[in-house]
């Protein structure tokens, strides 16, 4: 028997099987599984689940088929902003957090704030409520493109109150209910 010189001819020769001496049948060649690609896909799936993404991306029909709770569609996301997120905006968040028609968060514009305003907060919000005009100016300066189509309401509440001060609570209830139409 003569020796095959290259890999292709060996593979071809090995794929031929003889049923009888006169019959030659070619089996279909099966490609080997690419284990490297399978491993990378599993790693992508694992990392996507850690980050909270869906992988592979959903098609439009899959997205439309999912049920979205009606309660989430009706609720508005309201972001309350003051300077250091110590007294005014946390008070507003506390006063309005039990309302069934809105979701609330609070943040501050100062770098020393307990919770500084972030891009995620701006994206999350449907309505932004600030305590003073300077807060609106800072938000517009920092997040110009993101707040172009978002309403920003100024309450004109000065920094003269402590957390949950009765006058502050009363003015927040009146002014924010007028803005939200509640």
Domain of 133: which CATH number?
3.40.50.2300
Residue 66 has a pLDDT of 66
In a domain, 83, yes or no: yes
More confident residue, 9 or 173: 173
Q: How far is the C-alpha of 48 from the C-alpha of 53, rounded, in Å? A: 5
Please indicate, yes or no, whether residues 49 and 85 belong to a single structural domain of this protein: no
Please indicate, yes or no, if residue 29 is contained in any of the structural domains. Answer: no
Are residues 96 and 61 part of one domain? no
Same domain, 52 and 90: no
Q: In this structure, which long-range contacts are made by residues 50-53, counting pairs with CB atoms below 8 Å and at least 24 apart in sequence?
A: none
Domain count, the chain: 2
Contacts with 178 (C-beta within 8 Å, 6 or more apart), sequence order = none
Rounded Cα distance, 93 and 100, in Å: 13
Residue 50 zone, left/alpha/beta (φ > 0; ψ -120 to 50; rest): alpha
pLDDT of 96 higher than 80: yes
Does a structural domain hold residue 20? no
Whether the predicted pLDDT of 128 surpasses 80: yes
pLDDT of residue 108: 96
Judge contact between 138 and 132, C-beta under 8 A: no
Task: State the residue range of the domain holding 55.
Answer: 36-65
147, 121: one domain: yes
Shared domain for 45 and 81, answered yes or no, is: no
Please indicate, yes or no, if residue 135 is contained in any of the structural domains.
yes
Assess whether 89 and 166 both reside in one domain.
Answer: yes
The secondary element (H helix, E strand) that includes residue 137 is helix 133-142
Same domain, residue pair 131 and 98:
yes
Assess whether 120 and 61 both reside in one domain.
Answer: no
Q: What length is written for the chain? A: 182
Regarding whether 45 and 126 lie in a shared domain, the answer is no
Does 9 score more than 70 pLDDT?
no
The CA distance from 104 to 90, in Å, is 10
Tokens of 112: 């020393």
Q: What number of other Cβ atoms are within 10 A of residue 87's Cβ? A: 19
CA distance 154 to 136: 7
Which residues, including other chains, have CB under 8 Å from residue 116's CB and lie 6 or more apart? 85, 107, 108, 109, 110
Put simply, whether the predicted model's pTM sits higher than 0.85 gets the answer no
Residues 106 and 49 in one domain: no
Residues 94 and 168 in one domain: yes
């Amino acid at each position: 028997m003569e020796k095959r010189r290259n890999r292709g001819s060996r593979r071809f020769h090995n794929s031929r099987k003889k049923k009888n001496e006169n019959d030659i049948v070619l089996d279909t060649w099966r490609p080997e599984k690419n284990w490297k690609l399978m491993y990378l896909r599993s790693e992508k799936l694992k990392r996507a689940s850690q980050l909270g993404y869906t992988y592979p991306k959903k098609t439009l029909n899959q997205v439309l088929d999912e049920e979205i709770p009606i309660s989430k569609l009706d609720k508005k996301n309201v972001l309350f902003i003051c300077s250091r997120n110590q007294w005014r905006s946390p008070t507003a968040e506390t006063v309005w957090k039990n309302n069934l028609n809105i979701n609330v968060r609070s943040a501050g514009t100062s770098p020393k704030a307990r919770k500084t305003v972030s891009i995620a907060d701006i994206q999350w919000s449907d309505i932004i409520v600030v305590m003073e005009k300077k807060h609106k100016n800072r938000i517009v300066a920092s997040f110009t493109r993101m707040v172009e189509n978002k309403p920003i309401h100024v309450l004109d509440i000065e920094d003269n109150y402590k957390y949950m001060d009765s006058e502050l609570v009363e003015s927040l209830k009146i002014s924010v209910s007028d803005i939200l139409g509640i």
